[in-house]
A and B are shown apart, each in its own frame.
Chain A
Amino acid sequence: MNLTLRVWRQAGPDAPGRFETYEAKGISEDSSFLEMLDTVNEELVAEGEEPIEFMHDCREGICGTCGLMINGRAHGPELGTATCQLHMRTYSDGDELVIEPFRAAGFPIIKDLVVGRSAFDRIIEAGGYVTVDTGSAPDANLTPVPKETADLAMDAAACIGCGACVAACPNGAAQLFTSAKISQLNVLPQGQPERYQRTLGMVEVMEEHFGSCTNMGECEAACPKGISIDFIAMMNKDYRKATFAGRKAG
Protein backbone atom coordinates (compact mmCIF):
# COMPACT_ATOMS: atom_id res chain seq x y z
CA MET A 1 0.00 0.00 0.00
CA ASN A 2 0.97 3.63 -0.46
CA LEU A 3 0.79 6.22 2.29
CA THR A 4 1.52 9.87 2.76
CA LEU A 5 3.53 10.69 5.89
CA ARG A 6 3.82 14.05 7.52
CA VAL A 7 6.76 13.65 9.85
CA TRP A 8 8.13 16.09 12.43
CA ARG A 9 11.74 16.88 11.61
CA GLN A 10 13.92 18.75 14.05
CA ALA A 11 17.69 18.88 13.75
CA GLY A 12 18.41 19.24 17.45
CA PRO A 13 17.02 20.13 20.87
CA ASP A 14 16.88 23.87 20.21
CA ALA A 15 16.47 23.83 16.46
CA PRO A 16 13.10 24.84 15.05
CA GLY A 17 11.07 21.87 13.87
CA ARG A 18 8.59 21.42 11.06
CA PHE A 19 6.59 18.78 9.25
CA GLU A 20 8.05 17.20 6.14
CA THR A 21 5.95 15.19 3.73
CA TYR A 22 7.12 11.79 2.52
CA GLU A 23 5.54 9.18 0.32
CA ALA A 24 5.77 5.64 1.66
CA LYS A 25 5.34 3.41 -1.37
CA GLY A 26 4.75 -0.32 -1.68
CA ILE A 27 4.42 -0.96 2.06
CA SER A 28 3.34 -4.48 3.02
CA GLU A 29 0.38 -4.56 5.35
CA ASP A 30 2.21 -7.23 7.34
CA SER A 31 5.05 -4.90 8.15
CA SER A 32 5.16 -3.10 11.45
CA PHE A 33 4.92 0.64 11.76
CA LEU A 34 8.62 0.89 12.51
CA GLU A 35 9.51 -1.31 9.53
CA MET A 36 7.50 1.08 7.41
CA LEU A 37 9.67 3.93 8.73
CA ASP A 38 12.77 1.81 8.05
CA THR A 39 11.68 1.48 4.42
CA VAL A 40 11.20 5.23 4.12
CA ASN A 41 14.59 5.79 5.76
CA GLU A 42 16.35 3.47 3.32
CA GLU A 43 15.05 5.55 0.47
CA LEU A 44 16.09 8.76 2.21
CA VAL A 45 19.61 7.41 2.72
CA ALA A 46 19.77 6.28 -0.90
CA GLU A 47 18.87 9.81 -1.93
CA GLY A 48 21.58 11.16 0.33
CA GLU A 49 19.17 12.66 2.84
CA GLU A 50 19.18 12.44 6.62
CA PRO A 51 17.07 9.51 7.80
CA ILE A 52 14.22 10.11 10.25
CA GLU A 53 15.40 9.48 13.80
CA PHE A 54 12.95 7.52 15.93
CA MET A 55 13.16 5.49 19.14
CA HIS A 56 13.17 1.70 19.12
CA ASP A 57 14.91 -1.25 20.66
CA CYS A 58 13.23 -4.60 21.34
CA ARG A 59 10.48 -4.18 18.73
CA GLU A 60 8.43 -6.70 20.62
CA GLY A 61 6.51 -4.48 22.99
CA ILE A 62 8.48 -5.13 26.13
CA CYS A 63 11.23 -2.55 26.49
CA GLY A 64 9.33 0.72 26.37
CA THR A 65 11.77 2.47 24.06
CA CYS A 66 9.51 3.15 21.11
CA GLY A 67 6.87 5.83 21.14
CA LEU A 68 5.32 8.10 18.54
CA MET A 69 2.32 10.34 18.37
CA ILE A 70 0.42 9.02 15.35
CA ASN A 71 -2.58 10.99 14.14
CA GLY A 72 -3.06 12.50 17.58
CA ARG A 73 -2.81 9.23 19.50
CA ALA A 74 0.18 8.06 21.53
CA HIS A 75 1.31 4.69 20.10
CA GLY A 76 -1.37 4.98 17.41
CA PRO A 77 -4.96 3.77 17.30
CA GLU A 78 -4.68 0.19 18.63
CA LEU A 79 -5.48 -0.13 22.33
CA GLY A 80 -2.87 -1.85 24.50
CA THR A 81 -0.27 -1.72 21.73
CA ALA A 82 3.15 -0.11 21.66
CA THR A 83 4.24 1.61 18.43
CA CYS A 84 6.54 -1.29 17.55
CA GLN A 85 3.62 -3.72 17.77
CA LEU A 86 1.40 -1.60 15.58
CA HIS A 87 1.01 -3.13 12.14
CA MET A 88 0.32 -1.47 8.85
CA ARG A 89 -2.83 -3.54 8.31
CA THR A 90 -4.41 -1.06 10.74
CA TYR A 91 -4.27 1.46 7.90
CA SER A 92 -5.59 1.52 4.37
CA ASP A 93 -4.00 2.45 1.10
CA GLY A 94 -3.86 6.21 0.61
CA ASP A 95 -4.05 7.12 4.32
CA GLU A 96 -2.26 10.20 5.55
CA LEU A 97 -0.32 9.71 8.78
CA VAL A 98 0.84 12.62 10.90
CA ILE A 99 3.77 11.56 13.05
CA GLU A 100 4.99 13.71 15.92
CA PRO A 101 7.29 13.12 18.88
CA PHE A 102 5.90 12.75 22.41
CA ARG A 103 5.62 16.29 23.71
CA ALA A 104 6.11 17.31 27.32
CA ALA A 105 8.41 19.62 29.25
CA GLY A 106 9.81 16.51 30.95
CA PHE A 107 10.51 14.87 27.56
CA PRO A 108 12.74 17.30 25.65
CA ILE A 109 13.12 16.59 21.94
CA ILE A 110 16.60 15.39 21.09
CA LYS A 111 16.18 14.95 17.35
CA ASP A 112 13.21 14.42 15.04
CA LEU A 113 10.98 11.92 16.84
CA VAL A 114 13.43 11.09 19.62
CA VAL A 115 12.78 12.51 23.08
CA GLY A 116 14.73 12.28 26.33
CA ARG A 117 12.91 10.42 29.07
CA SER A 118 15.54 10.69 31.80
CA ALA A 119 12.97 12.43 33.99
CA PHE A 120 11.47 8.97 34.50
CA ASP A 121 14.85 7.76 35.79
CA ARG A 122 14.93 10.67 38.22
CA ILE A 123 11.54 9.55 39.55
CA ILE A 124 12.74 5.97 39.98
CA GLU A 125 15.88 7.16 41.73
CA ALA A 126 13.71 8.95 44.26
CA GLY A 127 12.31 5.69 45.64
CA GLY A 128 11.41 3.17 42.97
CA TYR A 129 13.37 0.37 44.61
CA VAL A 130 13.55 -1.70 47.76
CA THR A 131 16.62 -1.73 49.92
CA VAL A 132 17.56 -5.37 50.44
CA ASP A 133 20.44 -7.30 51.82
CA THR A 134 22.43 -8.40 48.79
CA GLY A 135 23.96 -11.44 50.45
CA SER A 136 22.93 -14.88 49.33
CA ALA A 137 19.54 -15.20 47.66
CA PRO A 138 16.74 -15.40 50.24
CA ASP A 139 14.56 -18.44 50.56
CA ALA A 140 11.80 -18.27 47.94
CA ASN A 141 8.88 -18.49 50.34
CA LEU A 142 10.37 -16.56 53.21
CA THR A 143 7.88 -13.74 52.79
CA PRO A 144 4.42 -15.06 51.95
CA VAL A 145 2.55 -12.92 49.45
CA PRO A 146 -1.19 -13.48 48.96
CA LYS A 147 -2.20 -14.32 45.39
CA GLU A 148 -4.36 -11.18 44.93
CA THR A 149 -1.51 -9.01 46.18
CA ALA A 150 0.97 -10.63 43.85
CA ASP A 151 -1.45 -10.19 40.94
CA LEU A 152 -1.99 -6.53 41.77
CA ALA A 153 1.74 -5.91 42.01
CA MET A 154 2.24 -7.66 38.68
CA ASP A 155 -0.44 -5.49 37.06
CA ALA A 156 1.49 -2.41 38.17
CA ALA A 157 4.84 -3.93 37.26
CA ALA A 158 3.68 -4.39 33.67
CA CYS A 159 4.60 -0.74 33.03
CA ILE A 160 7.43 -0.58 30.52
CA GLY A 161 8.16 3.11 31.10
CA CYS A 162 7.42 4.20 27.55
CA GLY A 163 5.97 7.57 28.51
CA ALA A 164 2.82 7.32 26.39
CA CYS A 165 0.79 8.23 29.48
CA VAL A 166 2.59 11.58 29.69
CA ALA A 167 2.37 12.08 25.94
CA ALA A 168 -1.36 11.41 25.88
CA CYS A 169 -2.21 13.40 29.01
CA PRO A 170 -3.65 16.82 28.15
CA ASN A 171 -1.81 18.09 31.24
CA GLY A 172 1.51 16.39 30.53
CA ALA A 173 1.20 14.58 33.86
CA ALA A 174 3.16 11.43 34.75
CA GLN A 175 0.72 10.07 37.30
CA LEU A 176 0.15 6.71 35.62
CA PHE A 177 3.83 5.86 35.31
CA THR A 178 4.70 7.07 38.80
CA SER A 179 1.74 5.39 40.47
CA ALA A 180 2.54 2.10 38.74
CA LYS A 181 6.15 2.27 39.87
CA ILE A 182 5.11 3.17 43.42
CA SER A 183 2.33 0.60 43.63
CA GLN A 184 4.31 -2.37 42.37
CA LEU A 185 6.34 -2.05 45.57
CA ASN A 186 3.86 -0.44 47.97
CA VAL A 187 1.39 -3.31 47.77
CA LEU A 188 4.01 -5.97 48.55
CA PRO A 189 5.34 -6.85 52.00
CA GLN A 190 8.86 -6.20 50.78
CA GLY A 191 7.91 -2.65 49.94
CA GLN A 192 6.52 -1.71 53.33
CA PRO A 193 9.61 -0.46 55.18
CA GLU A 194 10.18 2.32 52.64
CA ARG A 195 6.56 2.77 51.62
CA TYR A 196 6.02 6.36 52.73
CA GLN A 197 9.50 7.59 51.96
CA ARG A 198 9.13 6.15 48.48
CA THR A 199 5.75 7.78 47.89
CA LEU A 200 6.82 11.23 49.07
CA GLY A 201 10.11 11.11 47.22
CA MET A 202 8.77 9.92 43.89
CA VAL A 203 5.78 12.27 43.90
CA GLU A 204 8.01 15.21 44.67
CA VAL A 205 10.34 14.49 41.75
CA MET A 206 7.37 13.73 39.48
CA GLU A 207 5.94 17.17 40.20
CA GLU A 208 9.26 18.86 39.40
CA HIS A 209 9.12 17.52 35.84
CA PHE A 210 5.49 16.95 34.94
CA GLY A 211 1.97 18.34 35.18
CA SER A 212 -0.93 17.66 37.51
CA CYS A 213 -3.60 15.00 37.03
CA THR A 214 -7.18 16.01 36.26
CA ASN A 215 -8.49 12.45 36.10
CA MET A 216 -9.31 12.43 32.41
CA GLY A 217 -8.14 8.85 31.94
CA GLU A 218 -6.42 9.53 28.63
CA CYS A 219 -3.23 7.90 29.97
CA GLU A 220 -4.97 4.60 30.67
CA ALA A 221 -6.35 4.53 27.12
CA ALA A 222 -2.91 5.18 25.61
CA CYS A 223 -0.98 2.76 27.83
CA PRO A 224 0.33 -0.22 25.86
CA LYS A 225 0.22 -2.30 29.04
CA GLY A 226 -3.27 -1.36 30.20
CA ILE A 227 -2.10 0.10 33.52
CA SER A 228 -5.23 1.11 35.45
CA ILE A 229 -5.82 4.58 36.85
CA ASP A 230 -6.80 2.79 40.06
CA PHE A 231 -3.09 2.96 40.82
CA ILE A 232 -3.27 6.75 40.65
CA ALA A 233 -5.94 6.77 43.36
CA MET A 234 -3.84 4.35 45.42
CA MET A 235 -0.86 6.67 45.08
CA ASN A 236 -2.97 9.63 46.19
CA LYS A 237 -4.07 7.70 49.26
CA ASP A 238 -0.53 6.68 50.16
CA TYR A 239 0.63 10.23 49.60
CA ARG A 240 -1.94 11.55 52.06
CA LYS A 241 -0.94 8.94 54.64
CA ALA A 242 2.74 9.57 54.05
CA THR A 243 2.36 13.30 54.51
CA PHE A 244 0.49 12.72 57.75
CA ALA A 245 2.98 10.12 58.99
CA GLY A 246 5.94 12.29 57.98
CA ARG A 247 4.60 15.05 60.15
CA LYS A 248 4.16 12.76 63.12
CA ALA A 249 7.58 11.23 62.72
CA GLY A 250 9.26 14.63 62.82
Chain B
Amino acid sequence: MTTMQTTAPARSSRTPFLVELYRSALGKKYVMAITGLIFMGYVLAHMLGNLKLYQGAEEFNTYADFLRRLLYPIMPESATLNLMRVVLVIALVLHVVAAAQLTAMNRKARPERYRSKRDFVAADFAARTMRWTGVIVLLFVIYHLADFTWGWVNPAPEGASIYERVVASFQVPAISAFYLVANLALGVHLYHGVWSLFQSMGWVSRRFNHWRRMLAVGFTVVVIGGNLSFPIAVLTGIID
Protein backbone atom coordinates (compact mmCIF):
# COMPACT_ATOMS: atom_id res chain seq x y z
CA MET B 1 0.00 0.00 0.00
CA THR B 2 2.53 2.60 -0.98
CA THR B 3 1.22 5.17 -3.32
CA MET B 4 3.06 8.40 -3.81
CA GLN B 5 5.78 8.78 -1.22
CA THR B 6 7.26 12.01 -2.28
CA THR B 7 8.64 15.12 -0.70
CA ALA B 8 11.17 14.32 1.93
CA PRO B 9 12.76 17.58 2.98
CA ALA B 10 15.93 18.35 1.10
CA ARG B 11 18.51 18.73 3.78
CA SER B 12 22.23 18.32 4.02
CA SER B 13 22.64 16.34 0.83
CA ARG B 14 26.40 16.19 1.21
CA THR B 15 26.37 14.51 4.57
CA PRO B 16 26.75 10.74 4.22
CA PHE B 17 23.64 8.77 5.12
CA LEU B 18 25.14 7.13 8.20
CA VAL B 19 26.54 10.39 9.58
CA GLU B 20 23.17 12.05 9.04
CA LEU B 21 21.48 9.16 10.82
CA TYR B 22 23.92 9.27 13.74
CA ARG B 23 22.93 12.86 14.54
CA SER B 24 19.62 11.76 16.01
CA ALA B 25 19.03 9.53 19.00
CA LEU B 26 17.04 7.18 16.77
CA GLY B 27 20.08 6.94 14.52
CA LYS B 28 22.32 6.20 17.49
CA LYS B 29 19.99 3.34 18.31
CA TYR B 30 20.61 2.03 14.80
CA VAL B 31 24.32 2.19 15.56
CA MET B 32 23.76 0.30 18.82
CA ALA B 33 21.77 -2.34 16.93
CA ILE B 34 24.11 -2.76 13.96
CA THR B 35 27.23 -2.96 16.13
CA GLY B 36 25.27 -5.32 18.37
CA LEU B 37 24.66 -7.57 15.38
CA ILE B 38 28.39 -7.57 14.63
CA PHE B 39 29.09 -8.63 18.23
CA MET B 40 26.45 -11.35 18.00
CA GLY B 41 28.24 -12.82 14.99
CA TYR B 42 31.52 -12.52 16.85
CA VAL B 43 30.48 -14.12 20.15
CA LEU B 44 28.79 -16.99 18.32
CA ALA B 45 31.85 -17.71 16.15
CA HIS B 46 34.12 -17.30 19.18
CA MET B 47 32.15 -19.83 21.19
CA LEU B 48 31.88 -22.34 18.32
CA GLY B 49 35.60 -22.10 17.58
CA ASN B 50 36.49 -22.61 21.21
CA LEU B 51 34.57 -25.87 21.29
CA LYS B 52 37.80 -27.21 19.75
CA LEU B 53 39.16 -27.12 23.31
CA TYR B 54 37.30 -30.39 23.78
CA GLN B 55 39.25 -31.99 20.92
CA GLY B 56 42.55 -31.45 22.64
CA ALA B 57 45.61 -29.26 22.46
CA GLU B 58 46.64 -30.07 18.92
CA GLU B 59 43.24 -29.34 17.35
CA PHE B 60 42.86 -26.16 19.35
CA ASN B 61 46.29 -24.79 18.52
CA THR B 62 45.76 -25.67 14.85
CA TYR B 63 42.53 -23.70 14.98
CA ALA B 64 44.33 -20.69 16.45
CA ASP B 65 46.86 -21.00 13.68
CA PHE B 66 44.09 -21.26 11.09
CA LEU B 67 42.65 -17.96 12.34
CA ARG B 68 45.99 -16.29 11.92
CA ARG B 69 46.23 -17.61 8.37
CA LEU B 70 42.64 -16.90 7.40
CA LEU B 71 42.43 -16.28 3.63
CA TYR B 72 46.18 -16.84 3.38
CA PRO B 73 47.86 -16.66 0.85
CA ILE B 74 45.43 -14.25 -0.80
CA MET B 75 45.86 -12.05 2.25
CA PRO B 76 49.17 -11.72 4.11
CA GLU B 77 49.43 -13.79 7.27
CA SER B 78 47.34 -12.41 10.14
CA ALA B 79 45.93 -9.69 7.87
CA THR B 80 42.38 -11.03 7.82
CA LEU B 81 42.44 -11.58 11.55
CA ASN B 82 43.71 -8.06 12.16
CA LEU B 83 41.10 -6.65 9.82
CA MET B 84 38.40 -8.36 11.83
CA ARG B 85 39.97 -6.97 14.98
CA VAL B 86 39.87 -3.46 13.55
CA VAL B 87 36.18 -3.86 12.68
CA LEU B 88 35.45 -5.13 16.18
CA VAL B 89 37.32 -2.30 17.86
CA ILE B 90 35.52 0.31 15.76
CA ALA B 91 32.19 -1.38 16.51
CA LEU B 92 33.05 -1.44 20.21
CA VAL B 93 33.94 2.25 20.30
CA LEU B 94 30.73 3.17 18.46
CA HIS B 95 28.62 0.95 20.70
CA VAL B 96 30.07 2.42 23.89
CA VAL B 97 30.11 6.06 22.73
CA ALA B 98 26.53 5.91 21.44
CA ALA B 99 25.43 4.24 24.69
CA ALA B 100 27.12 6.97 26.74
CA GLN B 101 25.55 9.74 24.68
CA LEU B 102 22.09 8.20 24.88
CA THR B 103 22.45 7.65 28.62
CA ALA B 104 23.34 11.31 29.09
CA MET B 105 20.29 12.29 27.05
CA ASN B 106 18.05 10.07 29.17
CA ARG B 107 19.41 11.49 32.42
CA LYS B 108 18.52 14.94 31.15
CA ALA B 109 15.04 13.79 30.16
CA ARG B 110 14.17 13.02 33.78
CA PRO B 111 16.08 15.50 35.93
CA GLU B 112 13.72 14.99 38.89
CA ARG B 113 13.47 11.35 39.86
CA TYR B 114 10.31 9.83 41.23
CA ARG B 115 10.29 10.06 45.00
CA SER B 116 8.15 6.98 45.47
CA LYS B 117 9.32 3.50 44.56
CA ARG B 118 8.64 2.55 40.95
CA ASP B 119 6.52 -0.51 40.36
CA PHE B 120 7.76 -1.80 37.00
CA VAL B 121 5.51 -3.98 34.90
CA ALA B 122 7.34 -4.63 31.66
CA ALA B 123 10.86 -3.31 32.19
CA ASP B 124 12.69 -6.45 33.29
CA PHE B 125 15.97 -6.83 35.12
CA ALA B 126 17.94 -7.29 31.90
CA ALA B 127 16.52 -4.16 30.29
CA ARG B 128 17.16 -2.01 33.33
CA THR B 129 20.73 -3.20 33.87
CA MET B 130 22.08 -2.91 30.31
CA ARG B 131 24.50 -0.17 31.33
CA TRP B 132 25.94 -2.22 34.17
CA THR B 133 26.13 -5.54 32.35
CA GLY B 134 27.70 -3.62 29.47
CA VAL B 135 30.38 -2.16 31.72
CA ILE B 136 31.13 -5.57 33.28
CA VAL B 137 31.50 -7.12 29.82
CA LEU B 138 33.74 -4.27 28.67
CA LEU B 139 36.08 -4.66 31.65
CA PHE B 140 36.08 -8.39 31.11
CA VAL B 141 36.98 -8.05 27.42
CA ILE B 142 40.02 -5.95 28.34
CA TYR B 143 41.10 -8.50 30.92
CA HIS B 144 40.40 -11.36 28.51
CA LEU B 145 42.64 -9.84 25.83
CA ALA B 146 45.40 -9.19 28.37
CA ASP B 147 45.10 -12.80 29.45
CA PHE B 148 44.89 -14.78 26.21
CA THR B 149 45.69 -12.49 23.29
CA TRP B 150 48.53 -10.46 24.72
CA GLY B 151 49.41 -12.87 27.51
CA TRP B 152 50.34 -10.06 29.93
CA VAL B 153 48.46 -11.43 32.89
CA ASN B 154 48.44 -15.08 31.91
CA PRO B 155 49.81 -17.48 34.54
CA ALA B 156 51.39 -19.84 31.98
CA PRO B 157 55.19 -19.60 31.39
CA GLU B 158 56.57 -17.52 28.50
CA GLY B 159 56.18 -19.21 25.13
CA ALA B 160 53.26 -21.39 26.17
CA SER B 161 50.80 -22.43 23.46
CA ILE B 162 47.34 -20.86 23.47
CA TYR B 163 45.87 -24.12 24.73
CA GLU B 164 48.26 -24.14 27.68
CA ARG B 165 47.38 -20.54 28.42
CA VAL B 166 43.68 -21.32 28.53
CA VAL B 167 44.14 -24.28 30.84
CA ALA B 168 46.60 -22.42 33.10
CA SER B 169 44.20 -19.50 33.45
CA PHE B 170 41.08 -21.49 34.17
CA GLN B 171 42.86 -23.62 36.75
CA VAL B 172 43.00 -20.49 38.91
CA PRO B 173 39.55 -20.47 40.57
CA ALA B 174 39.44 -16.68 40.87
CA ILE B 175 40.00 -16.26 37.12
CA SER B 176 37.37 -18.87 36.34
CA ALA B 177 34.94 -17.17 38.72
CA PHE B 178 35.46 -13.80 37.04
CA TYR B 179 34.99 -15.47 33.68
CA LEU B 180 31.73 -17.09 34.79
CA VAL B 181 30.34 -13.87 36.27
CA ALA B 182 31.27 -11.87 33.17
CA ASN B 183 29.58 -14.39 30.92
CA LEU B 184 26.43 -14.31 32.99
CA ALA B 185 26.48 -10.53 32.62
CA LEU B 186 26.95 -10.99 28.88
CA GLY B 187 24.00 -13.36 28.88
CA VAL B 188 21.76 -10.82 30.58
CA HIS B 189 22.99 -8.17 28.13
CA LEU B 190 22.25 -10.43 25.15
CA TYR B 191 18.82 -11.40 26.46
CA HIS B 192 17.66 -7.81 26.18
CA GLY B 193 19.97 -6.66 23.39
CA VAL B 194 19.11 -9.35 20.85
CA TRP B 195 15.41 -8.69 21.30
CA SER B 196 15.81 -4.95 21.47
CA LEU B 197 17.75 -4.64 18.23
CA PHE B 198 14.73 -5.76 16.23
CA GLN B 199 12.79 -2.80 17.58
CA SER B 200 15.65 -0.37 16.96
CA MET B 201 16.15 -1.64 13.41
CA GLY B 202 12.45 -1.32 12.73
CA TRP B 203 12.15 -5.04 12.06
CA VAL B 204 8.56 -5.56 12.99
CA SER B 205 5.88 -7.84 11.62
CA ARG B 206 2.90 -9.02 13.57
CA ARG B 207 3.41 -12.52 12.18
CA PHE B 208 7.00 -12.92 13.35
CA ASN B 209 7.15 -10.74 16.44
CA HIS B 210 6.89 -13.60 18.91
CA TRP B 211 10.01 -15.17 17.39
CA ARG B 212 12.11 -12.22 18.42
CA ARG B 213 12.10 -13.09 22.10
CA MET B 214 12.60 -16.76 21.35
CA LEU B 215 15.60 -15.95 19.20
CA ALA B 216 17.04 -13.83 21.99
CA VAL B 217 16.62 -16.62 24.52
CA GLY B 218 17.94 -19.32 22.17
CA PHE B 219 20.95 -17.30 21.13
CA THR B 220 21.80 -16.38 24.71
CA VAL B 221 21.50 -19.96 25.96
CA VAL B 222 23.67 -21.38 23.17
CA VAL B 223 26.45 -18.81 23.39
CA ILE B 224 26.57 -18.47 27.16
CA GLY B 225 26.07 -22.20 27.68
CA GLY B 226 29.10 -22.93 25.53
CA ASN B 227 31.20 -20.21 27.13
CA LEU B 228 30.40 -21.27 30.68
CA SER B 229 31.33 -24.85 29.92
CA PHE B 230 35.00 -24.05 29.24
CA PRO B 231 36.18 -22.98 32.71
CA ILE B 232 33.94 -25.61 34.29
CA ALA B 233 35.51 -28.28 32.07
CA VAL B 234 39.01 -27.15 33.08
CA LEU B 235 38.16 -26.95 36.79
CA THR B 236 36.61 -30.42 36.74
CA GLY B 237 39.52 -31.85 34.78
CA ILE B 238 37.57 -32.67 31.61
CA ILE B 239 40.04 -30.43 29.82
CA ASP B 240 43.64 -30.48 31.06
Contacts and interface: CB of A to CB of B under 8 A. Distances in A.
Same complex for A and B? Answer: yes
Given A218-B120, A242-B8, A172 B109 contact: yes
Is the interface on chain B under 10, 10 to 19, 20 to 34, or 35 or more residues?
35 or more
Nearest to A229: B199
What is the interface of chain B mostly: helix, strand, loop, or mixed?
loop
A204 interface: yes
A71 B9 contact: no
A243 B105 CA distance: 21
A149 B122 contact: no
B190 to A, nearest CB: 14
A214 B127 contact: yes
A214 B197 CA distance: 10
B65 interface: no
A207 B25 contact: yes
Interface residues of A, number: 66
B203 interface: yes
A229 to B, nearest CB: 7
A36 B8 CA distance: 50
B227 to A, nearest CB: 25
Interface stretch (A26-34, A43-51, A83-91, A97-105): A97-105
Contacts of A100: 114-116
A213 B28 CA distance: 11
B128 interface: yes
Contacts of B198: 233
B7 A194 contact: yes
B203 A243 contact: no
B20 interface: yes
A220 B209 CA distance: 15
B26 A72 contact: no
Interface in B82-125: 102, 105-106, 108-124
Contact of A173 (B12, B30, B106, B128): B106
A229 B28 CA distance: 19
B110 A211 contact: yes
B63 interface: no
Contacts of A204: 24
Contact of A207 (B17, B24, B128): B24
Contacts of A248: 8, 13
Given A195-B5, A212-B26, 15 more contacts: A72-B118, A106-B109, A170-B106, A170-B128, A189-B1, A192-B3, A193-B4, A211-B110, A214-B130, A215-B195, A218-B120, A218-B123, A229-B199, A239-B26, A239-B202
22 contacts: A173-B106, A173-B109, A192-B4, A193-B5, A196-B5, A207-B24, A211-B106, A212-B29, A212-B109, A216-B122, A217-B127, A218-B120, A229-B199, A230-B206, A233-B198, A233-B201, A236-B29, A236-B200, A243-B21, A246-B11, A247-B20, A250-B13
